[in-house]
Amino acid sequence: MRSRPPEVPVRASATESSAEGGTATRNTALSNLFIAHNQELIAFLMTRLTEAEAHEVAQEAYARLLRLDQPETLSFLRAYLFKTAANLSIDRLRHRHTRQASQPQIGLLQQLGTEPTPEELTSRRQEAQLAARILGELPEACRRAFLLYRVYDYPLADVAREMGVSERMIRYYVVQAMDHCRVRMSAERQEKDAER
């Protein structure tokens, strides 16, 4: 059983219900919401988007919250924030293809800012080789589920249908594959460090 977290004190003071204090209250509530949950919001969005996209979507979600008519309670605002962000992220994924095709300059700017150094490229390549080798240790069903989900980007439900097992099973496979990689990769890294 998961325990309840201490509620974050986000609800603003007593002015919440007074008409003239509404905007200010909501702004306070929003900034509190931001402080309390922005990290989680970004983490949530980054399960499917890049970091830059996640920040953009989060900003847009806050902007939409500001446009709400009445001040609301924290729990409503929080749910609304994540719901809006989730919807925006889905739109973003849907339009990702067309956006990238029509705006190559944006991609260029991003690349210029984050271009890897040769050393980074080499170490990334070595990491990839290590990960590939370790993935080879997995049983076939587990590996196939992971590859279909990670490389081919199939939705979990599609992987399940293709492999003829439940979605829960696929999730279990992917989790096992990732944990196995984590444990084995850190072991290999330690071994390599020990050699030095």
Partner 1 sequence: MSWTPATDTQSERYQEACDWFLRLREASEDSELIAEWLRWCHADPANREMFEQVRQSWGSLGAGAALFDRQSADRHPIDQHLRHRWRRPRQLAIAAATLIAVLGAGWLVLFEATGWFRTSEATRFTTGRTEHRSLLLADGSRIEMAGNSQLEVALGKYRRDVLLRQGEAYFSVAHDKTRPFVVYAGDVHVRAVGTRFDVRATTGRVVVAVEEGVVAIEPPNLAVAAVDAVFSRLRILEGKAPAGRTLRPTPVRSGQEFAVGSAELEPQVLSIEPQSVASWRQGRLRFVREPLQSVIDSIQALSGQEIELDDPSLADLRFTGTVFGSGVSAWVNALPAVFPVTVRQDGNRFIISRRGESRR
Residues numbered 23-62 forming contacts with partner 1, rule: CB under 8 A: 37, 39-40, 43-44, 46-48
Residues numbered 150-169 forming contacts with partner 1, rule: CB under 8 A: 150-152, 155-156, 162-163
Output DSSP code: residue 12.
-
C-beta of 30: minimal distance to partner 1 in Å?
Answer: 17
Kindly tell me which of 29 and 134 has the beta carbon lying closer to partner 1: 134
C-beta of 155: minimal distance to partner 1 in Å?
Answer: 7
Tokens at 106, concatenated: 């944006």
Q: Are 81 and 33 a contacting pair, CB within 8 Å?
A: yes
Kindly tell me which of 16 and 48 has the beta carbon lying closer to partner 1: 48
Give me the phi and psi of 149, to 5 degrees please.
-80, -40
Binding span for partner 1 by CB under 8 A among 2-10, 11-19, 26-34, 58-66: 2-10
Spatial CB neighbours of 42, under 8 Å, sequence gap ≥ 6 = 51, 54, 55, 58
- Would you tell me how many other CB atoms lie within 10 Å of the CB of residue 167? 14
Residues numbered 84-143 forming contacts with partner 1, rule: CB under 8 A: 86-87, 90, 97, 100-101, 104-105, 107-108, 111, 115, 117-118, 121-122, 124-125, 127-132, 134-136, 138-139, 143
Q: Which of 51, 70, 7 is nearest to 33 (CA)?
A: 7
Which stretches of 67-139 are DSSP H helices? Answer: 74-102, 104-114, 118-135
From 11, 55, 64, 184, residue interacting with partner 1 (rule: CB under 8 A): 184
